[in-house]
Amino acid sequence: MGLVVVFFVLYAFTRPAWPTVYNHFVWQADAYLHGQASIRYPVPGTATSPGNDYFNDVIPVLDASGNETGRGMVPFPPLPAVILLPFVAIWGMATDQAFLAVVIGALDVGLAFWLLGRLPIRAGLRAALTVFVGAGTVLWYASSLGTTWFLAHVVAVGLTLAAVAVALDADDRAAGLDVDAHEWLLDRRQVVAGLLLGLAVTSRLTVVFGVVFLVLVGGGGTWRRRAVSAGFGMAFPVGAFLLYNLAVSGTLFNPVYEALYRYEVWAYPDLHYNAAWSLQDLRYIPQNLGIMLGGLPDVVPACAAGVAREIWSAAGCSWLVPSPVGMSLLLTSPAWLLAAGALPLLRDRRVAGGLLATLVIAVVNVMHFSQGWVQFGYRFSLDFAPFLLVPLALGAERLIARHGRGAARGGLLVGGLIAASAVVQAWGLAWARTLGW
């Protein structure tokens, strides 16, 4: 609980000074409360409200004659809007969805601590890695910002952390079952893990591929039993989500994403999207993999005429400025490198499952045309962070244990990488606030 309070204060203290204007989920929750799937759109700004006519990721709903109806469809999965329902029912459009991100982000840190307690690591490492999750990854940036895209990440991270923790804790021996004799029985904990992961999918779609972790990890018996149990748990939320899409759009997958893609190809030529390629395309992998692993800050960026170069500049006229397109995961959160220490442990299902889930989700993400701009770091890493946390923890524990009497040296390396991650995240967040991101 203490860590949750600490990170709540940190996230609340580092929030932007300006109000959140990208609050799609508040509009969506308001629509649900009025029995509608589409939001009011476009709504012009007034003296008391910014409206939403500046949203460029909403497509107008047309009537049979092709005329706009004053409503629009958003592409985002609905769970964050569902969570906001009671708040919007009370405060209406004045609801601060970014504050909800602060609260949920702090709870995510507590869930990370719980997950790490399911692993055979020392208490000090458990605490240190929890700090890494909260301050050394882009969870800090996402939780303190809380705009539409980042709130979706924060919600999904918490549910995914819980799913991973439950899967790690699933053990048929605790129920006194002979697994081989009860192969046909569902693993109850694995069903719960699947349910939690399925709920995470209704906030961030690519999390669905993390099911490979549940197939490899959690409970006894064969992989078939684990897969069926997890699939049974995921079936309700994922099935309900697909039926929701079918009911509101006529297709199982929201068509607004395709419309958004076509718009961004035209609107952002500097991002190098290709109109001849699809929304998810293998040909985007080299470009996006370069951002994920090799993205660098802007070194001595060009300054506008008459603007002096300074150490810290609201105009971005400095010597080293984070790139809004995204930056290397290994540069912004170098402690993730500790996961490499788990490679000799690949026979451990927890390590194999964590690395495989990370790989599959990462591949799907880098096939996507967009990599999350505008952002600090690489926000899509939050989709696989809960899975990568498992080999990270086991790899760090192995690194410390290998030093024997010199374990302090291993601890110093681990602590140094975690501290470096937090410093880089603080630097990036400070720049983001300066630049108005």
Question: What would the pLDDT profile of 73-121 be if each residue is shown by its tens digit?
Answer: 999 999 999 999 999 999 999 999 999 999 999 999 999 999 999 999 9
Which residues, including other chains, have CB under 8 Å from residue 206's CB and lie 6 or more apart? 361, 364, 365, 380, 383
Long-range interactions of 232-236: CB distance < 8 A, separation 24+: 232/186, 232/191, 232/194, 233/190, 233/191, 233/192, 233/193, 233/194, 233/195, 233/196, 233/197, 233/198, 234/194, 234/195, 234/197, 234/198, 234/201, 234/208, 235/194, 235/198, 236/195, 236/198
pLDDT at residue number 105: 98
pTM: 0.95
Helix residue ranges, H only, 44-116: 79-91, 97-116
218: pLDDT confidence band, cut at 50, 70 and 90? confident
409: pLDDT confidence band, cut at 50, 70 and 90? confident
Q: Is 122 helix (H, G, I), strand (E, B) or coil?
A: coil
Q: What's CA 180's distance to the chain center, in Å? A: 37
Q: Report whether 134 contacts 429 (CB < 8 A).
A: no
Percent of all residues in the chain with a pLDDT value above 70, rounded to a whole number: 95
pLDDT at residue number 75: 94
175: pLDDT confidence band, cut at 50, 70 and 90? very low
Percent of all residues in the chain with a pLDDT value above 90, rounded to a whole number: 87
pLDDT at residue number 180: 54
Is the pLDDT reported for residue 405 higher than 60? no
Q: What is the mean pLDDT of residues 406-424?
A: 88
- Taking only the tens place, the pLDDT of each residue in 305-356 is 989 999 999 999 999 999 999 999 999 999 999 999 999 999 999 999 999 9
In terms of average pLDDT, the best of 261-275, 331-345, 395-409 is 331-345
Q: Which of 278, 18, 15 is nearest to 142 (CA)?
A: 15
Kindly report the average pLDDT of the chain as a whole number: 93
170: pLDDT confidence band, cut at 50, 70 and 90? confident
Is the pLDDT reported for residue 360 higher than 50? yes
pLDDT at residue number 174: 42
- Taking only the tens place, the pLDDT of each residue in 229-242 is 999 999 999 999 99
